[in-house]
Structure 1
């Protein structure tokens, strides 16, 4: 009897797995091979509908209805025709929905899309036409009595007027929420002390809030104090703030202490003078992220107020910087500032685990001049003067990797000893006579036993090193 063998490409499960990793163009080609391949790749083709790239208006309603069940993500939906496309597709298992309601589309149709998917939606982002817009929050909630529960983990509202009761209703009916983004949202204020009723529901699952300072703290008058938005989030850990505000530092400090004792991580895109002041409003921060151009002497001093607890000091950067195919140049003002200011952070923050300042440059002489006391450093994104080509960066990384292997083989790296490696141990791996910029940088990296991820100008290198 002849034996038969099955090609891996004939196994539906394997085909579906492959479909997750191919481009849209390749998925469309694969779907035309045969019926089995069509079934395997159709989900990849229809999974994400981004109306900045897709034009589905000419498709027959039967085609939309046939494949609409595969849609999971809808982005940049705004025009009436785009809303109708999603309605005609009968998509009912959306996980992410991004809507721009400033294009005068039928709100009734938008609510129909939301209601049809309110048992599966995990992320929703809605931008309204103006602050006078009103949103029917009930569209977010599954029908009562069905046993279904909202799966929303994050939502973003921009330009909206909403009652405090409606806002509290969202929090109450969305138990899975962990992240909120509010911008230009008008919420009626509550007088201080009037924050224990139903209109001030406390959601204990929300740990991250993105909102301007003036959104969280509304200034009415000197004599009239109002409760901040923080009262809703007793377990808040991270606040990403922007904007301008006349709120006193004392008021912010008191409200954070009263409402959010776990708040230890801040991301600031406020103007530098305000950022410096705001950092003083918090105690014992573990994560501080500021704008790239803000790292002045005053900002570093404000960061060092948290030196005993700081685990991560970072600047906001283009998330695609690690994909650069060339080593970016460092601006002159950043070079001059970084020569001495930034060194204070690793030299004084003993708990630091991540130093991510990818557009600031350090001099290797300064680095070697005084010990970095952050023995537990795990992530390092910086630039080093002279280490300015792919070849030099690659060589430094390679010397570091080889040094780690050599240290492990000779058992120099005692895992019970948290101190830095001594100069004699380092010179045993990379001789002192090796005085190139690459060797000096690699020697410095070897001091940190827990260091795993580095970036010096191109390609993040992740070294999974286990003792």
Structure 2
């Protein structure tokens, strides 16, 4: 039997994978030119041109697109941003606009807008994985004013239209099952509606709540506690609903038994009650919660949460401004479990190095340490007894390594020495230089693989032994 020989491509541009990669670096004008080359090039460059429709930028131009053009290109539209007018929804009314994966939507009080939006979402439910809903903040920007304005209200049909009934055998069980990311800003919805959204979003992995008021909790209404959500971005007060017109409702955290990561931008108390941080255990609701990111500069609040409300944290990110004795003690209280500590922003306190030394002495399981704004004195660092010998990633700066050339030279020495199993190069080197002292210090971390000393990440190879 004779086997047909497949001729290799004459040019890299004959390969679809190469063309797709090139397309990601080109502007729309260049991609439009490439589309006209051939049918094969059309399929590789057209998706980039039509991938995103931002109505803040493209509304006028997109409104002029004819049905014939959408019939050819509508299937490439994957992301629609800033839908905020009836005309925007009307422009998307085409049978070939059927692959939208992400939408950013401004909720309006207009009933026709809401109805057509519901139809668009229903038609796109098989492809949507990310939804963002937002409203303009009220004036004055208070929860009471937000609750009194009708246009801030959203209902379950804004996301799932129509919502299938769990007792209806004719219901479409696949409706909304692809949704993975949901973001709500300046909206109001009922507690029952919030629970239903989670129930009919079994793949929902990320949830962002900003100034969302969850209202009308009644003890007799069952709350869905089977969500598979793993990532939550919500202020401390946000998880307590902030509904000042109703009796205190249970925390929203009880919906998320599988929550692993929580971003806390603010730590302000809710406006409808005072929460005692000394008698609160988040692990009772979210036993898998092990990663927390603090965006607040509230040192007292952060330390209280670390000491009393979290258990067995593995990763913590906080502002460098909040590093004080209280927050250091809060971190050390998780010394058996912490593997990652990241300090962000600029540091102002001269005692930061002293407090950091306490952390690296006691948190022996630490694998990632990032403190990019801290400039360390080598002599001080050498005197610290580092308990975290298993460090894999280190991101700090050293006095004396001030230029990219100095840093590059230092890390090249580290790589050479590491490859030779810790044996220094045979070339004579001044052991008193900052570079050599930093190298000698870093050699104690035998598992260290990523180092940042002020410029870029360097990968440290394993020993050749």
Q: What TM-score do you get using the length of structure 1 for normalisation?
A: 0.81
Contact in 2 for aligned 1:300/1:341 (Cα 8 Å): yes
Alignment of 1:234-273 (within 5 A): 234-243=257-266, 244-245=268-269, 246-253=274-281, 256-270=282-296, 271-273=298-300
SS of 2:211's partner is strand
- In the alignment, structure 1 segments of 5+ residues that lack a partner are 318-329, 408-424
**Who is 1:37 aligned against?**
41
1:21 maps onto 2:24 in alignment: yes
SS of 2:327's partner is helix
Instruction: Encode CA deviations 1:177-218: one digit per residue, 9 max, x unaligned.
Output: 122111211113657xx4xx7631013411221111111135
**Who is 1:157 aligned against?**
184
The two structures, once aligned, show a CA RMSD in angstroms of 3.2
**How many aligned residue pairs are there?**
427
Moved more, 279-288 or 23-32: 23-32
**Who is 1:379 aligned against?**
393
1:170 to 189, 192, 197: 197
2:432 to 412, 431, 435: 435
Deviation at 1:361, TM superposition (A): 1.8
Q: What TM-score do you get using the length of structure 2 for normalisation?
A: 0.81
SS of 2:304's partner is helix
User: Following the alignment from structure 1 to structure 2, what is the Cα–Cα distance between the partners of residues 71 and 382?
Assistant: 43
Moved more, 91-100 or 363-372: 91-100
Deviation at 1:350, TM superposition (A): 0.3
Contact in 2 for aligned 1:351/1:374 (Cα 8 Å): yes
Deviation at 1:90, TM superposition (A): 4.6
Moved more, 85-94 or 65-74: 85-94
**Who is 2:449 aligned against?**
452
SS of 2:105's partner is strand
Contact in 2 for aligned 1:157/1:185 (Cα 8 Å): yes
User: Following the alignment from structure 2 to structure 1, what is the Cα–Cα distance between the partners of residues 263 and 427?
Assistant: 43
1:141 maps onto 2:147 in alignment: no
**Who is 1:325 aligned against?**
none
1:287 to 295, 312, 315: 315
- In the alignment, structure 2 segments of 5+ residues that lack a partner are 1-5, 138-145, 165-170
SS of 1:57's partner is helix
1:101 maps onto 2:129 in alignment: no
Instruction: Encode CA deviations 1:147-173: one digit per residue, 9 max, x unaligned.
Output: 635111121111111111111111111
**Who is 2:91 aligned against?**
85
Deviation at 1:229, TM superposition (A): 0.9
User: Following the alignment from structure 2 to structure 1, what is the Cα–Cα distance between the partners of residues 93 and 426?
Assistant: 65
1:307 to 329, 335, 359: 335
In structure 2, relative to structure 1, the CA distance for the partners of 1:10 and 1:139 (3 Å cut) is: same
User: Following the alignment from structure 1 to structure 2, what is the Cα–Cα distance between the partners of residues 264 and 444?
Assistant: 30
**Who is 2:167 aligned against?**
none
